[in-house]
Amino acid sequence: MIDQSKSKLDRREFLGAAAAASFMIIQPQLVRGTAANSQVRLGILGCGGRGTAVGSGFVQDAGARVTALADLFSDQLEAAHKHFDEIQQAKGYAAIDSSQLFKGPHAYKEIAASKEVDFILITTPPYFHPQHLETVVEAGKHVYCEKPVAVDVPGAHHVIRIGERAQGKLSLDVGFQIRMAPPMVELTRRIHEGALGKIACGLAYYYCGHLDRPDWPNASPEEKRLRNWVWDRKLSGDIIVEQNIHVIDMCNWMLQGHPEKAMGTGGRKVRTDAGDCWDNFNVIFVYPGEVQISFGSSQFNDPTFDAAVCLFGSEGSSEAHYDWRVNIAGKNKWDAGLGPAKEAEQFSAAGKFKGSLDQADPEKQKAFVASITSGQFHNQAALGAESAMSAMLGRMAAYSGQPATWDELQKSKEVYEPKIDITKLA
């Protein structure tokens, strides 16, 4: 249980661990003599679709080398093993040693203890993130943890404490890659410099289709829940915490704070899968200065996808869509050249872009690897916890049907417990 008396922090203290990283001498084990062995060595904990995709990005775009894999399920482990051996063979890397393939309920401990990895990518179901993150940090490994860092408030507070222990010793990044997308970086810089004037209100949304999952006909009910964790609110945190968190994090970034209160609603109206996640949320987040953000999301059927944050101020408005328009209208006009017409000739101080998120993952991954090799370590634990709890504030308001405040949220002792014994699935 987390000591709540130690978790009531002002924002400066709360994000202290996310401040400029401390410089440290590069670890000797990262300095190798030959080109074939000079890459930072990556271990992947959670070999499903996201782990494979992000891991591939680290290999292709950031120069890392996958040397170890871990997963609860043998089929996912084998598929990832085949995939990474194939893409790394083209780079002249040796095949992943069979001794570095870890399977079963204790695989997370085994990969964390491996001497063949420098950093670990955590892409397991979010419920496990605090436990897995703590194990990796205690083993002295750098870590890149997918969002959300936790599914409940005690878990988020736990992550803050883990980050404090890692500060200045390890790089600990959280998967909010949008903060590294060049058009978004340029837009946010302009907003912070006052391009919109006094911000009055905003709109944020994440409308997407149903997430299809296999039937797993021979799996037990417990195994199906784990394999289809995106449908399960105890394992995922529900769609607002697991998926919609990206645009909520964008609001925090652009507004330089977290919401102080929220009012919301939503429900499960048309979903037919076996899970219990809601299919829509509608929340009003109130940020410092009484800036109200109207947030909406959906996850059902097959609608036109769009995710965006729009802000409205005294001197203009901004739009930041996932893969098209990123601009400012009004007194201080600016356009990244990503509108429907792909107006490539429009000027952008940050360059011409094909899609707003095209370089998000590569830039994030390259920066993370560079933080390890340079010794300029990152620490995004507090930042990740803040954004996770911002999404939880909206969930709390929507679930209860009552207004909720940040201070009330910090006192929550509710623990999300899926009650699945993974040792029985070995």
Per-residue pLDDT tens over the stretch 143-181 = 999 999 999 999 999 999 999 999 999 999 999 999 999
Reference 120, options 53, 69, 62; nearest CA is: 69
Q: Using CA atoms, how far apart are residues 89 and 94, in angstroms rounded to an integer?
A: 7
Angstrom distances, CA of residue 80 to CA of 8, 102, 229 = 41, 12, 19
User: Coil, helix or strand for 227?
Assistant: helix
**What is the predicted pLDDT for the residue at 323?**
85
- Per-residue tokens: 267: 């429900």
**What is the predicted pLDDT for the residue at 354?**
67
Element (H, E) at 382: helix 381-400
**What is the predicted pLDDT for the residue at 1?**
33
Burial class from Cβ neighbours inside 10 Å (0-12, 13-18, 19+) for residue 218 reads: exposed
The model scores a pTM over 0.75: yes
pLDDT along the chain (426 residues), means of 10: 39 43 35 52 97 97 98 97 97 97 98 98 98 98 98 98 98 98 97 98 97 93 97 98 98 98 98 97 98 98 92 98 94 88 41 77 98 97 98 98 98 97 89
CATH topology of domain 179-358+390-410: Dihydrodipicolinate Reductase; domain 2 (3.30.360)
Out of 3.40.50.720, 3.40.50.2300, 3.40.50.300, 3.10.50.40, which CATH number does the structure's domain 4-178+365-379 have? 3.40.50.720
Reference 120, options 188, 171, 81; nearest CA is: 171
**What is the predicted pLDDT for the residue at 302?**
86
**What is the predicted pLDDT for the residue at 353?**
52
The DSSP result for 294-308, as a single string, is EEEEEESS----EEE
Number of helices (H), then strands (E), in the chain: 14, 15
**What is the predicted pLDDT for the residue at 43?**
98
Task: Break the chain into its structural domains and give their ranges.
Answer: 4-178+365-379, 179-358+390-410
